Amino acid sequence: MREEIRLAGFGGQGIILAGMILGKAAAIYDGNEAVFSQSYGPEARGGACAAEVIICDYQVDYPLFEAADVAVAMSQEAFHKYGSLVKPEGIILLDSDLVHADAVKARARSAPFTRIAEGLGNKMAANVVMLGFLTGATEVVSRKAMEESIRTTVRARFVDLNLRAFAQGFELAKEPEAVR
């Protein structure tokens, strides 16, 4: 098994943190091998950024990202930049309030990650809503591993909020309406 996952959006959405949480869940709590890389513009907020995680059940022999099995676009710019770089059998997950997809060759699913986080009282949790949705939609990592990774990665005062955000995203991925 080799899964290449690209999370993309703009600075300030917690994309890099989401990639770290995902990689940690896969490597430490699910017992797989994982490689994490990040890229971002010089802006602290608002510039394009991406996190790439490769998850294998064997030692990662080639750590460079080729094409996404799973892609996430949390901004329109991210969708335009990376939306076509998904394997034909891959899946792309979109923040439905921030991304308006035109032609998509891969399977697409969308949910209002940011709006859900706002409903929880902190839009900064949109990245973890997205991780819940990604976990529920793809099962690339286990729910238990993701929850433990969240518990051990985010600041203690935000653990509860992030676990609720994760749970809402996870449950939403199980609903057929979340399919485009």
- Whole-number pLDDT of residue 165: 97
Helix, coil or strand: residue 59: coil
- The CA distance from 162 to 117, in Å, is 9
- The CA distance from 104 to 148, in Å, is 33
Give residue limits of the domains in the chain. 2-178
Cβ of 140: how many Cβ atoms within 10 Å? 21
- Whole-number pLDDT of residue 157: 95
DSSP 61: S
Question: pTM of whole model > 0.85?
Answer: yes
User: What are the distances in angstroms from CA 166 to CA 51, 87, 127, 152, 159?
Assistant: 18, 26, 9, 14, 10
Enumerate residue ranges in the chain where pLDDT < 70. Answer: 41-47, 102-106, 177-180
Cβ of 45: how many Cβ atoms within 10 Å? 9
60, 95 Cβ separation under 8 angstroms: no
Domain 2-178 part of CATH 3.40.640.10: no
- Whole-number pLDDT of residue 62: 79
- Whole-number pLDDT of residue 65: 84
- Whole-number pLDDT of residue 103: 61
